């Protein structure tokens, strides 16, 4: 099996040392290690030899991570290795176009798992990151549900039980057309992709 060519970038020497210790002589990953500040000095021909780059965000600002992400280009897959737990920033990192996010609070073996998964075309988020994202999504869902009127909330809850428009209309003593209008308003307020399979 051909080894994965991976570049590890870090602004923190202690993290870089730990990564070197773990990934040197890995049977599946051929690794190079650079201080983040050297990124701009890498010639284009050297960048192109890597399939994947792991960026240790360390104490870097969001703009610096985005700059590194942009300068590497879309053809190189990217994983952010982060100690960050601030929810908003994590969401920004995920939406920045990276292929994976791994928390430093998890075992370094998870980073290795992420490298293999992402190189094979998948996305990878470790359990800690998924948990934080799920909390954010649940909070957003609750916030959106609060935008619904009392009647829209009623209809939303009935739809989720599997009831059809005709049955909802009969239960609420309204026309089927009224139920359809309420459902359309719910879609607009929650976003068209929000529970699209439920609000048909």
| Residue labelled with tokens 């209809």 | 155
Q: In the prediction, which pLDDT does 199 show? A: 52
Q: In the prediction, which pLDDT does 197 show? A: 45
**CA 121, CA 7: separation in Å to the nearest integer?**
17
**CA 127, CA 115: separation in Å to the nearest integer?**
15
**CA 23, CA 180: separation in Å to the nearest integer?**
57
**CA 157, CA 155: separation in Å to the nearest integer?**
5
Q: In the prediction, which pLDDT does 79 show? A: 92
Task: For domain 4-136, give the CATH number.
Answer: 3.40.50.2300
Q: In the prediction, which pLDDT does 21 show? A: 93
Q: In the prediction, which pLDDT does 46 show? A: 61
Q: In the prediction, which pLDDT does 19 show? A: 93
> Has domain 147-190 been given CATH number 1.10.10.10?
yes
For the chain, the domains span 4-136, 147-190
Q: Please, what are the averages of pLDDT over each run of 10 residues along the chain (200 residues)? A: 87 88 93 74 65 80 69 82 78 80 90 94 89 75 81 89 90 93 88 53
pTM over 0.85, yes/no:
no
**C-alpha closest to that of 55 among 37, 74, 29:** 37
């Amino acid at each position: 099996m051909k080894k994965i060519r991976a570049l590890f970038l870090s602004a923190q020497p202690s993290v870089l040392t730990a990564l070197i210790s773990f990934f040197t002589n890995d049977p599946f990953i051929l690794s190079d290690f650079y201080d983040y500040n050297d990124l701009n000095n890498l010639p284009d021909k050297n960048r192109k030899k890597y399939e994947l780059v792991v960026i240790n965000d360390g104490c870097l600002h969001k703009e610096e991570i985005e700059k590194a992400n942009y300068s590497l280009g879309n053809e190189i897959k990217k994983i952010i290795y982060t100690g960050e737990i601030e929810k908003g920033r994590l969401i920004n990192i995920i939406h920045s176009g990276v292929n994976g996010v791994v928390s430093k609070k998890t075992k370094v073996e998870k980073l290795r798992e992420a490298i293999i998964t992402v190189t094979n075309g998948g996305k990878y988020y470790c359990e800690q990151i998924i948990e934080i994202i799920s909390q954010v999504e649940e909070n957003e869902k609750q916030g959106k549900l609060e935008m619904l009127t009392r009647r829209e909330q009623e209809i939303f809850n009935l739809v989720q039980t599997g009831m059809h428009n005709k049955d909802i209309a009969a239960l609420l003593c309204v026309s089927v057309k009224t139920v359809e209008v309420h459902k359309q308003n719910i879609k607009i307020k929650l976003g068209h992709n929000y529970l699209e399979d439920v609000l048909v």
